[in-house]
Structure 1
Amino acid sequence: MSSTLFRTKRVEQSILDTEEPEHALKKSLSALDLTVFGVGVIIGTGIFVLTGTVAKDNAGPAVALAFVVSGVACALAALCYAEFASTVPVAGSAYTFSYASLGELPAWIIGWDLVLEFALGTAVVAVGWSGYIQSLMDNAGWTMPDALGSREGADAFGFDILAAALVLVLTFILVLGMKLSARITSLVVAIKVAVVLTVIIAGAFLIDGDNYDPFIPKTQTVEAASNLDAPLIQLMFGWAPSNYGVMGIFTAASVVFFAFIGFDVVATAAEETKNPQRDMPRGIIGSLIICTTLYVLVSIVVTGMQHYTRLSVDAPLADAFKDTGHPWFAGFISFGAAVGLTTVCMILLLGQTRVFFAMSRDGLLPRFFSHVHPRFKTPHRPTILLGVIIAILAGFTPLTELAALVNIGTLFAFVVVAIGVIILRKTRPDLHRAFRTPWVPVIPILSVCASLWLMINLPAETWVRFAIWMVIGAGVYFLYGRSHSRLGRHQETTLAEVEKGDGTGTA
C-alpha cells in the first residue's frame, strides 16, 4: 500500500499531459507578465498599514531591517520555486512539484492545502477590498446599507455584495483568457505602483531625521499569551517573544513575512508561459526583489515622517500624512489600497483554479474539471465553480479568524517544495534544469528552517484548524482520489499487460 501512496509522476509524463488538446492551456505569458503577476499579488494593503503597525509595536525604525530579513527568508523559498517551475513547467505549483519528487499522497496533501490557502486568501482579500471601497463611498457621502456591506460593526446579518461582486467579475475575466487577465493586471499594477512611488517620494520630503532616534529601541519583554491563542513555540518551550532590540527585529520579521506571501502563486502559471525555463525564475525572483525594495522604502518613509511611538495602528501611513499637514493623502492611500487588492484577489483566484485543474487532470479530483474552454483555452469549469463558492464565502462568512490559515498553508508549501528540490536532485540528476538553486542542500535546508520557525510562531489554534483540514483532505483522498488516480490506473494497466505477456510466453 505504501508504494501506491508514494508513487511519483515522472516529469516527462507531466509535461506530456499538457499537450493533450482537451487539457492544454494556452501559452501567452512573458517574463514581464509573470513579474507583474508577482508584484500584483504581493503588494496589497500591507504596504500602507503593516509597515507602520510593526514599527510601532515591534521594531521601531528598524522595521526596515525586518523587511530585509523577511525578504531574504522569502528568497530562499523563491530559489527553490524557481528551480521547480523551470524544470517542471506545469500548472499546479507545489502540488505538481510534490508529485514529481515526494509522491502522490504528499502531492494530494499539498494540493488540498493550496486549495484552502487560495480560497480563504481570495475571500479575505475581497472582504478587505469591499471595506476600502465603502470607506471611499462614505467619504463621498454615499453609504451602503448594513445588509449589503461589510459585517464589521453592523448589528444586522448581511451579505457583502461588493466582495461577492468583485470575485464574480474577476472569475468572468479569468474565464475569458490569461492574456486579457494579464493586460488588466498590468494596468492595475501600474496604478498601484504609481501610488506607492508617489507616497514614497512625497513622504521623503516630510522626513524628520530626529524620528529615527533610536533606530533600534531598547528591548521590551512581551507578556505571555495563554491557551490556544499563544504561539505554538510558547506552549512547546515556554518561550515568549520580545519587542524592540535586536530580537525585536526578528520578531517583526516573523510578522512582516506574511506581507511577502504570493510570489509562489506565480509558479501556478508555468504551463501558460511561453518560455517557462527562462521566464519563470525571472518572474518569481524579480517580483520579490521589487516588492522587498518598495516595502523597505515605505518603512523608512513612515518612520521618518512620524516617531514610531506616535504611529497609529489602524492607518499609520495615512495618519502620518495628516500629522504633517497633508490629510488629503488618506483618501489617496485608500484608493491605492483598493486598487492593490483587486490584483491580489485575481491572482489568488487564478492560482487556485490552476491547482484544482492540475489535480483534476491527474484524476485526484473529478476529470470533468480538467477540460479547457474550446475557444479561450482556460480551465473554465473549475474557475466558475470556485469563483461562485468563494463569492458566497466572501459574502456571508466572517473570515478574520481563519485568515491565519492562509499563512500556515503557504509556509507548509514552502517546506514541501524545499524538501522536494533536494529529493529530485538525488532521484533525477539527469533532468535539464534551466535554473538551479545554488548551494543545494544548504539553501533548501535554510528555507525549511526559516519556514518552520515562522510556523511555530503562529497561534496553536491555527495549527489545530490546519490539522483538521488536513485530516479531512486525507479522507477525501482515500475515499476518491486514490482509486481514481490517473497514474495509478496507468500503472495497473501496465502491470496487467506485463502479466498477460508473461502468461502468453509461458503457454
Structure 2
Amino acid sequence: MNFFRTKDIEQMKQMALASGMVKNLGVIDLILLGIGGVIGTGIFVLTGVAAAKYAGPAVMLSFIISGFACGMAGLAYAEFSSIVPISGSAYTYSYASLGEIVAFIVGWNLVLEYTVTSSAVAAGWSGYVTGLFQSAGVQLPFAFTHVPADGGLINIPAILITLLLSFFLVRGTKESTKLNRILVGVKLLAIFIFLFLAGPKVDTMNWHPFMPFGFSGVAGGAAIVFFAYIGFDAVATTAEECKNPARDLPRGMIGSLIICTLLYVAVAGVLTGVVPYTSLNNPEPVAYALRYIGYNIGSALVGVGAICGITTVLLVLLYGQARIFFAMSRDGMIPAQICKIHSKYRTPYIVTTVGCIVVSVIAGFAPIGVIAEMANIGTLSAFFVAAVGVMVLRLRKPDLPRKFRCPAVWAVGPLAVFSCGYLMYNLPIETWIRFIVWCTIGLFIYFGYSCKHSLLNK
C-alpha cells in the first residue's frame, strides 16, 4: 500500500465542481473574512499578555516576526490556491504534492487547531459578555458562566454563541458573510477609536526599555501571538464557494494578512506607549488602556468592539473547521456519510453540526488553559508543510498552469520553512509533548481506518 500516493489535481477540480456548494464569495468577502478571523482575541487580549510576560514594548517586533512567517507561508498558500482551488487548505495542498499520510496528519492537526481555538474563543467571548453585564449592574449566575474546573457547572454563554453562529453557517455562506461584514465594521471602528483617542497620549518613555526580556523574549512572544494569525488559514478553506478562486483567493489571503499585520503593530505600539507594559497582563488590555488615560466611554465602546471582534473570529473558525472535516470525509479519511450537502442551503450541514457540538461541549465543560497553545503548533506545522509542498510541486510538475506564482519561490519557500520552524522551536516543551501525542493518535487512526477507506485505495 502506497502511503505517499497523491491525488490527481484535475480529478480534485472535478470533485469540487460536483460538490454542489454555492459560489458567492468575491475578493472583498475573502479579505473581510480574513480580517474577521484574524482581528479579535489577538488584538484585544494577546497584545497585552505578550507585552507583559514576553516581549515588553518590543511586542511590535513579535507581531512583525509572526506576520513575516505567515506572509511567507501565505505566498505558498496563494500559489497552491491558484493550482488547487478546492476546500481543505493545507490538507488538500499536501494531498496534491506530498502524499496521503502527510495530508492526513496535516488535516488531523488542522482539526485540532480549529476545534481547540474555537472552544477557547467561545470561552473568551463568554468572559467579555459576562464582564459587560457586570459593568451594567447585572450579575450572571457564576455556576452557569464557568466550567466545573473553575468552580461552576457549565459555561452557557459559550455554548449559546457557538450554537447561534453554527445556525448561520448552516443557513449558508451568504448569510454568514453578511453577519461577518457588519461585525468586522464594528470592530474596525473600535480599533480606530482606540488609535484616535490613545495615539496622542503616547509617552515614548514607556518604550524604555524596549526589549526588557531580550530577543529571546521577542521570539517567545512571536510564538505566542501567532495564535492571533490562525484565522488566516480559514480563507483558504473557502475555495469551493468562491466565484473565481484562482484569482481571488491569493488576493484575499495576502490582502487580509497585510491589513491585519499593520493593525496589530499599530495597536501594540500605541498600547505600550500609553500604559507601562508591566500592567498589561489582564483580559482586556485595550479597554484598560483607555480607562488608564481617562476615556471611560471610549473604553466601553472598545469593549463592545472586542465582543464583535471575538464573534467574527469564532464564526470564521467554525466555518474553517467544517470545511476541513468536509474535505477529509469526501476523501474517505473519516466516514464519508457526514459530508452531505444540504438540499436547500447547499452547505455541509452535518459536519458543521458535528463540529458545533464538539466545540460546545469543550467550551461549556472543559478548562482550555495551555491546550490552546497546541493550536499554534498545529497551524505552524501546516504552514511548514505547505511551504515544502509548493517547492516539491515546482520540481515534480513545473508545467502546471499557475495563475499566481509565488515570487522567488526558492527564497520564499526556505524562509517560510525556517520562520515557521523557528516559531515552533520557541514553543514550550509541554506543547511539543502534546503535539507528538496528538500526531501519534492520528497515525493510529490513519493506519486503522483512513488508509483502507481512502478513495485512492479503492
TM-score bracket for this pair, using the shorter chain length: over 0.9
Secondary structure in structure 2 of the residue aligned to 1:150 = coil
Structure 1 residues 166 and 310, CA gap change in structure 2 (3 angstroms)? closer
Task: Please give the alpha-carbon distance, in whole angstroms, between the structure 1 residues aligned to 2:110 and 2:239.
Answer: 16
Structure 1 residue 470, shift from structure 2 partner:
1.4
Q: Which runs of 5+ in 2 are unaligned?
A: none
Counterpart check, 1:97 vs 2:93: yes
Are positions 1:125 and 2:94 aligned together?
no
1:19 aligns with 2:10: no
Which amino acid is the alignment partner of residue 427 of structure 1? R
Unaligned runs of 5+ in 1: 220-242, 490-507
Contact 1:146 1:154 in 2 (8 A): no
Alignment partners' CA distance in 2, 1:331 and 1:153: 30
Matched with 1:227 is none
Compute the TM-score of the two structures, normalised by the length of structure 1. Answer: 0.86
C-alpha contact (below 8 Å) 2:63/2:264 kept by paired residues: yes
Residue 248 of structure 1 deviates from its aligned partner by 4.2
8 A Cα contact 2:222 2:423, kept in partner: no
Q: Distance in 1 between matches of 2:217 and 2:32?
A: 32
Q: Are the equivalent residues in 2 in contact too, given 1:312–1:319 (CA < 8 A)?
A: no
| Offset of residue 70 of structure 1 | 2.3
Alignment of 1:487 with 2:456, yes or no, is yes
Cα distance change, pair 362–53 in 1 and its aligned pair in 2 (3 A) = closer
Distance 1:17 1:50 in 2: 40
What do residues 238-287 of structure 1 show as CA deviations (whole Å, max 9, x unaligned)? xxxxx14x554444333333322221111000111001111101110111
> Given that residues 54 and 218 in structure 2 are in contact (C-alpha distance below 8 angstroms), is that contact kept between their aligned partners in structure 1?
yes
Q: Confirm or deny: 8 A CA contact 1:63 1:299 kept in the other structure.
A: yes
Q: CA deviation at 1:74?
A: 1.4
Could you tell me how far 1:155 is from its partner in structure 2? 2.7
CA-atom RMSD, angstroms?
A: 1.8
Q: 1:35-46 counterparts in 2 under 5 A?
A: 35-46=31-42
Match of 2:170 in 1: 175
Corresponding residue of 1:463: 432
| 1:127-162 CA-partner distances (Å, limit 9, x unpaired) | 110010000011112122122112388534x11111
Partner AA of 1:175 in structure 2: V
Match of 1:231 in 2: none
Q: Deviations over 1:203-250 (max 9, x none)?
A: 112223443445x34x5xxxxxxxxxxxxxxxxxxxxxxx14x55444
1:26 CA drift (Å): 1.2
CA distance in 1, matches of 2:374, 2:313: 17
**Which deviates more, 337-346 or 201-210?**
201-210
Distance 1:416 1:305, change over 3 A: same
Taking structure 2 as the reference length, the TM-score comes to 0.95
Q: Which of 258, 261, 283 is the aligned partner of 1:292?
A: 261
Structure 1 Cα separation of the partners of residues 274 and 39 of structure 2 = 21
> Do 1:373 and 1:380's aligned partners in 2 also have CA atoms closer than 8 Å?
yes
Which structure has greater helix proportion? 2
Contact 2:149 / 2:366 at 8 angstroms: preserved in 1? no
Q: Offset of 1:373 from its aligned partner?
A: 1.0
Query: Equivalents in 1 of 2:383, 2:264: separation in Å?
Result: 21
CA distance in structure 1 between the partners assigned to 2:423 and 2:225 by the alignment = 11
Q: How does 1:262-277 map to 2 (within 5 A)?
A: 262-277=231-246
Whole-angstrom distance in 2 between the partners of 1:376 and 1:155: 41
**1:423-444 deviations in whole A, cap 9, x for unaligned?**
1111111211111111122211
Which whole-Å CA distance do the structure 2 matches of 1:350 and 1:95 have between them? 15
**Are 2:385 and 1:389 aligned?**
no
Residue deviations 1:279-303 (CA, integer Å, cap 9, x gap): 1011101111111111111122112
| Equivalent AA in structure 2 for residue 457 of structure 1 | N
Matched AA of 1:475: F
Query: Is the deviation greater in 461-470 or in 173-182?
Result: 461-470
Q: 1:135 to 1:378 in 2, by over 3 A?
A: same
Identity score, percent: 45
